Structure 1
Amino acid sequence: MAQSIVLVTGGSRGIGAAACLRAVELGHAVAVNYVHNKAAADAVVAKIEARGGAAFAIQGNVQSEADVLAIFAACDEHGQLAALVNNAGIVDYPARVDEMSAERLTRMFAVNVVGSFLCSREAVKRMSTRHGGKGGAIVNVGSAASKLGSASQYVDYAASKGAIDTMTVGLALEVADEGIRVNGIRPGIIDTDIHASGGLPDRVAKIEANLPMKRAGTADEVAKAIMWLLSEEASYTTGAILDVSGGRAILP
């Protein structure tokens, strides 16, 4: 019998890596997708194997359709897809909208939106009962920024995550009777290195005293929420978007 697989895009660091480590609890083999850092992905695989789980790393950039097809083909070689976590995403340096280039916007939406659509398309083709699949689950990683707007910082990022919210609801309704549940999460300020990649390495330290819980969240706290949405405990939950933001709603 082919092993079941959960694919986590952007699985070599941050929330993605934490989700990969937690996915062992569901009994699936874990496909750890990465773009550049093979060593980091291999380290996540090693940690999963040390916990008695099965895992493998797959290189590929979700903004490339060819790469997405290759990622899913690699999963097919290892077993049967049971779940997808659309986690891969990027931010850019803080800027106002009137300072943003077309190149920046194109890249932002290619990775954060088009990539999630392409991966969801391929997952549905494999999991939907309409296509001969056995069902499954998709969790889209959005952001509290989709509700806050991220003015003077990342309006483009916030808008891309707003698109993910909309996709989550629409796709959930589209495949609800095909054995696939589609849900989303909106993390708030989470202590990962994504802030450094956006040019604000000390962002958490500067604002956590102003957060409702007076601290940032952890990647593992988000991963636990992802795993609940993927699990059978959430068997009647689809089209839902869960805020994992420590109560952050309107604070900058």
Structure 2
Amino acid sequence: MSDPLRFLIVDDEPLAVERLQLLLARMEGVALAGTALEGAAALRLIEALAPDAVLLDIAMPGMDGIDVARAMSRMERPPLVIFITAFDTFAVAAFELEAVDYLMKPVSAERLAKAVERARHRLADKESGPLPPPATPHLEEFWVSEPRGLVRLAASDVDRISAERDYMRLHVGSRSWLINHTIARLEEELDPQRFVRLHRSAIVRRDFVTGFRRDETGRWYAQLADGEEQKVGRLYVQNARALAGRS
């Protein structure tokens, strides 16, 4: 008999944790590795317990489920992820992170059983298949929403990125797409040899910058390949100087 699939449950609502525990307890071939009520504790338990998969709530205070999943993806042997949420606005982010499944609350026993089977098959494929190539330390692609589904964008094709409230807009030529990221996270994950932050709300591909100009007030502007200009924030003038070879 094969070993049971070991799950960690992560949700900031104790009643939700209890409900998932009860649903798992009724399934064969499944074991509970542990539970956590917030993201940082979940990461510590994952390192200590090495579960096969995580039932992960997304909307949690502090480190949310997307943050936890991104942190897990950098582990040597990350567990599989099944997202569980009361909202449907995170589907693209979940897709980007290669989640096994994406379940809406309240989770039914039948729907959870399907997700568990998907996790079981995914784990079997990982164990039987060839080792994957080493992961790049930088974000190489985005999955963006289109009216008929999702489209893959290579990071190298993105000209610039601008912040719009709680979202980021990716600009590629004359088109643009909104994604659910923060600019701080993008600055950390994008290749610094390819992208540079020039403003608190703007990241630009380095080879998309064609020059700089300074106005009468001393404010710097980056001139872009599409004829537009990007204001350089005072905190990011050094980045502009380095790009121009003047650091």
TM bucket normalised to smaller: 0.3 to 0.5
Q: Which has the higher helix share?
A: 1
| TM-score, normalised relative to structure 2 | 0.39
Q: Bigger relative contact order, structure 1 or 2, given CA contacts below 8 A and separation 6+?
A: 1
- Rg larger for: 2
Higher strand share: 2
